[in-house]
Amino acid sequence: MKKLIYPLFILIILLSACTQKNGNVLNNYDPALDNSQSESDNLVVGFSQMNHINPWRVAETNDLKRKADDLGIKLIVLDGESSQEKQITDVISLIGRKVDYIVLAPLIYEGWDNALNACREAGIPLITLDREVAGIPGVDFLTFVGGDFVKEAKTAAEWLIENTGGSAKIIELRGREGASCVLDRERGFRETIEKYNNMEIVVSAYADFERIKGQRVMEEIILSYGRNFNVVYAHNDEMAIGAIQALKAANIQPGEDVLVISIDGSKDALKSVIAGELGATVECTPYLAEQVFAAIMRNELGKTVPHKIIVKERLFDVNNATEHIDEAF
């Protein structure tokens, strides 16, 4: 195993980009910092994934599996079936299986105290992945790996301000109620548009990050609220794509009558941008495995692990969607 891993880290060093350190937050974390030889032999990592209901989740799990395989780490994946209770049971069962680390992609922000305490008592470091949990990093859990959701929302709002001349009646499709990325995507968006008197959210509704729910909720909004809006801001691509279907069914032309923007940067979203339907998507990558395992390696070597490991976002619109479609999930 060591023979395999050493060249891999050399490769990572060669491919490395620059890393900015800001207090306890690492932006654009560079795993090349952890060019350790294998400390990974025989490690077992348990992963509590919240569900596999959209391509983002599937891509994230597959990325972790691939990377674990490359490093010779055993990865146990449990599916929480969109239930926090099930995820807590999964974490407890991973502790029972004596894993070395637990990675938790938490459905919502609050309510993890029992799971976090159980990990701490068992001496198993826990990494929260792609969404945050209430608690103190470095105390209640090792670190958070994921995107800057406030920034994603700000980027989306700025694109809208530019493309609507600062005047919009906005429908917001939120993801899952109580999820950290949802709270942040609401906040970042509101903080940015509030400087513009004519940017107004007229309806805001949850659609759980699912395409089918995005479609249904959009249909209901058109029926109950009417057509007096010119923007849809969806917290992820899947809901935006569902909403686009509902708009078209109601003879509202996305890209012309209504500007649609979302977050994630999926392949389907980039296709929709190229087709002129989705206006833009702000990237939130599901490819986080490199950062997760780099944090684990760092911890194994007794080095400090930053309290937040933040992966940068980009914006894809008609100017660059074609260029990036092949790398999208």
Contact status: 130 vs ligand GYE (CB under 6 A) = yes
Nearest C-alpha neighbor of 133 from the set 156, 151, 117: 117
Q: Which stretch binds ligand GYE (CB under 6 A): 53-61, 95-103, 187-195, 300-308?
A: 53-61
CB 199 within 8 Å of CB 161: yes
CB nearer to ligand GYE: pick between 9 and 235:
235
Q: How far apart are CA 245 and CA 312, in angstroms?
A: 30
Subset of residues 252 to 291 that bind ligand GYE, contact rule: CB under 6 A: 263-264, 284
C-alpha radius of gyration, the chain, whole number: 20
Q: Which stretch binds ligand GYE (CB under 6 A): 16-24, 37-45, 49-57, 315-323?
A: 49-57
181, 259, 280, 311: which one binds ligand GYE (CB under 6 A): 181
At 23, list the tokens: 């207090």
Contact status: 131 vs ligand GYE (CB under 6 A) = yes
What SS3 class is residue 30?
A: coil
CB nearer to ligand GYE: pick between 70 and 317:
317
At 105, list the tokens: 């992609």
CB 60 within 8 Å of CB 105: yes
Contact status: 207 vs ligand GYE (CB under 6 A) = no
Give how far the C-alpha of residue 211 lies from the chain's centroid of Cα atoms, to the nearest Å.
Answer: 16
Contact status: 56 vs ligand GYE (CB under 6 A) = yes
Give how far the C-alpha of residue 155 lies from the chain's centroid of Cα atoms, to the nearest Å.
Answer: 15
Contact status: 308 vs ligand GYE (CB under 6 A) = no
At 19, list the tokens: 């890393």
CB nearer to ligand GYE: pick between 125 and 147:
147
Site string for ligand GYE, 228-247 (x = CB under 6 A): --------x-----------
Q: How far apart are CA 149 and CA 84, in angstroms?
A: 21
CB nearer to ligand GYE: pick between 55 and 137:
55
CB 164 within 8 Å of CB 93: no
CB of 56 to ligand GYE, least distance (A): 4
Give the footprint of ligand GYE on this chain (CB under 6 A).
54, 56-57, 130-131, 147, 181, 209, 236, 263-264, 284
